Chain A
């Protein structure tokens, strides 16, 4: 038990928690925006791969770090545009289109990677985002290094939660978005375009998912390799449900998730972990996600028009 207490008291543990949570926060906010407007975006897993590749590739070919983030976002929005076009005006199955986008996006990223680096076996590294300790705040014991000595992208992730929350609940645009996810007919009756709102939400949301992917290559692993997203997108979908479609609660879920993930990594190195196959630890994030879904399933917070296409003039 002493070992576990020790883990919880180490600043590096909490720093890892936040680092693990950051990409999930971006992608979860992206998914949350889509779902609030009424579109389930199962393209998330593939869009994260595209973001990871696009961001990394930009920097690798000499672009700036922030340029990389922008390129990743634009690439994500492009796939969002495709997803939105098929699911919103054409009202195709969000399940099928989402999975199709994931396949297409993943394969495109891998194809482009192989095209750019045909023979490489060791993934090349880039000069990624460096920690940017905030003066004074980062000197606070324990939470200082954890919260205030992270890379700029992590700070951005936390700011993003506030922005998404504000836009959704305090602005006319946010009200219209939420209404589009609850009863699109109400939006259309006011002369607002459900199609434009949902398309916009899917595009912006997809852009954020891609930034979440870019975090992996530009702020965590510093290189691109196959299978690197490894189910994080699906976990984000579970986090949206866990957070009851509220940005703040979803953030809490992502951090909680980070705690478990960071804990399992450290437990593997303790005496407790020595006797347990490492695969058990690696399973934990997925098992926890399923548990979260089961626990939260009774909540009625789900947007009423989620996955319901809106066809103008249909009676």
Chain B
């Protein structure tokens, strides 16, 4: 298992790490060893304990049991500076960068003695330029971070670790925000780093990436280490089973039976909102009995399209037809009345109100209508009845309808949102990142429900950054890039790499964004 690196000892040893949060055992006696010049993948579902393990390594948590050794020396626990000083660098999934600072300021934050008389900008600039050159990670050091694309921000995040002379680099779901081609470029950069002697831990739940970049895979499930295999000795199917603990049965897929167009956009544009990009002359048709997938790197106009269909955004050009007619006014209430079921992107921030009960959350979209309210008076009995129905029909595991929703797991929260959206048998369904961050059980449940709705004639718009999800579920695929929409592609006509090129902006007609 160990690569041919001579007689050196391991660069990193996690030994018997255990971490409990109340009754939950997030890490159960996990031991991992990393050798010089090696790339290992840490594979596991959401909630398997990957992030907790890395937070312990980084001193954000202290382990209840176990020890960490870096380059043969024990690493003091609960001290983030110790990990950095020992040469461990982390590329976080949610970048730890400040939008209002420049690239250079972000990179040098915390690298110079806090009580130093003056920032050494010139020296820092030179070092950053050299690193960017060495690893092919070009960035403008004086650009404000807020103006950069997601891919560029990730480059800054990596450069930040390299700037601190990291010898061990940990990347947490680094490809989630990249096109397949950008991911390839990232892998190339990572290989350069390994060639220069760095060791890498690659955290992911995407099997084909793990197979492509890692030499060894460590699999976590429910806080336990359930397997450790060389990539050469395994295959994606076996890894998936190890990760989930059971054979995965993908949702059953029947042939689509497309019907009439329920929602149509004709050369639709929407205004830019601050740094959030609007739509540019978009044509889109959502048809009965069809799942339309929308692929794209985040921040390219998905938000504007979702907001438009959800009733939160307005047209600045073009026309929108709902059930064949152009609505005179457009708002959330109109969208709901038009039978649009909505699953928002962020279930914590927009989907639910954390301190409200399940009942109060379940009626959010219909609290003003009978039977829940008459002439401004609430009928809480009716609301509870409705919530009970949703809880039963959508298998929401909870102590009862009066529980505050913040106490539910992400999966159960999403089931309530799903139930709330589907209970009115919507003809049009907006599913924005419906399975992000869920475990496999919840993912399958949500996807099965979406497919069932399609089979019953609903038009579904599925927005996701996960190309596999898009390719599996969609009957029609569009790619969105800088607010522009690609032509529709039928199922099976495009590969991930083909979509990746469109995601990077290739193929769009010139002059389309002139308006």
Contacts and interface: CB of A to CB of B under 8 A. Distances in A.
B212 interface: no
Interface stretch (B7-15, B97-105, B255-263): B97-105
A191 B97 contact: no
Given A171-B116, A191-B110, A304 B83 contact: no
Interface stretch (B53-61, B319-327, B503-511): B53-61
Given A176-B109, A187-B110, A188-B80, A313 B61 contact: yes
Interface string B101-117: 10001101111111111
B55 A186 contact: no
B81 A176 contact: no
Interface string B13-24: 000000000000
A200 to B, nearest CB: 10
A303 B101 CA distance: 11
Contacts of B97: 183, 186
Interface in B237-268: none
B80 A175 contact: no
Interface residues of B, number: 35
Interface string B73-92: 00000011111100000101
A249 to B, nearest CB: 16
B59 A191 contact: yes
Given A191-B80, A191-B84, A312-B60, A172 B96 contact: no
A299 interface: no
Nearest to A313: B60
Contacts of A191: 59, 79-84, 110
B125 to A, nearest CB: 14
B114 A172 contact: yes
Contacts of A172: 108, 110, 112-116, 119
B274 interface: yes
A192 interface: yes
A235 interface: no
A315 B106 CA distance: 21
B109 A179 contact: yes
A189 interface: yes
Nearest to B82: A191
B392 interface: no
Contacts of B105: 175, 179
Contact of B119 (A175, A179, A185): A175
Interface in A149-202: 170-173, 175-176, 178-179, 182-183, 185-192
Contact of A303 (B84, B100, B108, B109): B100
A189 B96 contact: yes
A173, A176, A186: most-surrounded residue (chain B CB, <10 A): A186
Contact of A304 (B60, B98, B110, B114): B98
A189 B94 CA distance: 11
Interface in B395-424: none
Contacts of A300: 274
B355 to A, nearest CB: 14
Nearest to A183: B98
Contacts of B349: none
A186 B116 contact: no
Contact of A178 (B55, B90, B92, B101): B101
B85 to A, nearest CB: 8
Contacts of A187: 109-110
B98 A182 contact: yes
Contacts of B61: 313
A248 B511 CA distance: 44
Contacts of B80: 188-191
Nearest to B121: A170
Interface in A63-119: none
A190 B109 contact: yes
18 contacts: A171-B116, A171-B117, A171-B118, A175-B109, A176-B109, A186-B97, A186-B98, A187-B109, A188-B60, A188-B96, A190-B80, A190-B96, A191-B59, A191-B80, A191-B81, A191-B82, A191-B83, A191-B110
Given A172-B115, A178-B98, A183-B98, 4 more contacts: A172-B119, A186-B109, A188-B80, A191-B82
Interface of A: 170-173, 175-176, 178-179, 182-183, 185-192, 300, 303-304, 312-313, 315
